[in-house]
């Protein structure tokens, strides 16, 4: 019943009393656990052995640098390298022209946009052109980084500030290196 007080330990609930006078246990008895304990221990031991074996296999495979493990470096044809070079130079010329126009204009926001766009264009072209020669790739990434630096520094310092002048000088030097890569200087 809803208002009945629960039985005290050792007493049986009123609903569990049997009509034959025998008392039903107040709480269910625990089953014998000896067999289940051994089964659980055996399963745990098997799991540990399998885990250790898997770890050993993983470790030995990842450190195996013998003659059977070879890495292939992709090779590109001269035509693929030339096409990648041309793609990079086209992107550079467009970016450099936009930077030149907007940094010599009267709107500093356009100058920042042009340098950020130039950095992004160069970075995307390098990433999309795996056939680029390492020197071309390095020059483009250096100019992209310099463009990004100019955009960031221009927000903090302008005019005759040494940090600003240093960023501009670096961008001009990286631009001159990129002009050489693309045959313009």
In a domain, 95, yes or no: yes
In a domain, 22, yes or no: no
Tell me, what's the pLDDT at 108?
83
In a domain, 156, yes or no: yes
For residue 73, count other CB atoms closer than 10 A to its CB.
4
Tell me, what's the pLDDT at 179?
96
Please state the separation of Cα 20 from the chain's center in Å.
73
**Distance, CA of 142 to CA of 96 (rounded, Å):** 14
- pLDDT per residue as tens digits for the range 89-138: 999 999 999 999 988 888 888 888 999 999 999 999 999 999 999 999 99
Tell me, what's the pLDDT at 92?
97
Residue ranges making up the domain that contains 115 = 78-181
In a domain, 92, yes or no: yes
**Distance, CA of 2 to CA of 31 (rounded, Å):** 31
Total number of domains constituting the chain = 1
Tell me, what's the pLDDT at 121?
94
| 74 contacts: CB under 8 Å, gap ≥ 6 | 130
Of 158, 153, 162, 164, give the one whose Cα is nearest residue 116: 153
10: which 2 tokens?
């050792």
Of 81, 63, 58, 79, give the one whose Cα is nearest residue 130: 81
Of 180, 129, 123, give the one whose Cα is nearest residue 146: 123
Angstrom distances, CA of residue 42 to CA of 53, 118, 153:
17, 65, 66
Tell me, what's the pLDDT at 39?
72
In a domain, 102, yes or no: yes
Instruction: List the single range of 51-60, 77-86, 160-169, 172-181 with lowest mean pLDDT.
Output: 51-60
In a domain, 24, yes or no: no
- What is the three-class DSSP state of 62? helix
- pLDDT per residue as tens digits for the range 138-167: 999 999 999 999 888 888 876 678 888 898
In a domain, 170, yes or no: yes
Any bridge partners for residue 17, and if so which? 23
62: which 2 tokens?
């990842």
In a domain, 30, yes or no: no
């Amino acid at each position: 019943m809803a208002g009945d007080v629960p039985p005290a330990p050792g007493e049986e609930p009123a609903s569990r009393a049997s009509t034959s006078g025998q008392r039903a246990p107040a709480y269910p008895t625990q089953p014998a656990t000896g067999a289940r304990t051994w089964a659980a221990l055996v399963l745990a031991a098997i799991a540990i052995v399998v885990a250790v074996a898997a770890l050993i296999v993983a470790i030995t495979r990842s450190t195996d640098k013998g003659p059977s493990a070879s890495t292939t470096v992709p090779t590109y044809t001269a035509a693929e390298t030339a096409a990648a070079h041309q793609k990079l130079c086209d992107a550079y010329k467009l970016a450099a022209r936009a930077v030149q126009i907007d940094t010599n204009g009267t709107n500093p926001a356009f100058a920042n946009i042009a340098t950020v766009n130039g950095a992004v264009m160069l970075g995307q072209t390098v990433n999309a052109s795996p056939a680029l020669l390492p020197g071309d790739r390095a020059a483009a990434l250096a100019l992209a980084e310099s463009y990004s630096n100019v955009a960031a520094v221009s927000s903090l310092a302008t005019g005759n500030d040494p940090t600003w002048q240093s960023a501009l000088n670096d961008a001009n030097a990286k631009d001159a290196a990129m002009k050489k890569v693309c045959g313009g200087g």
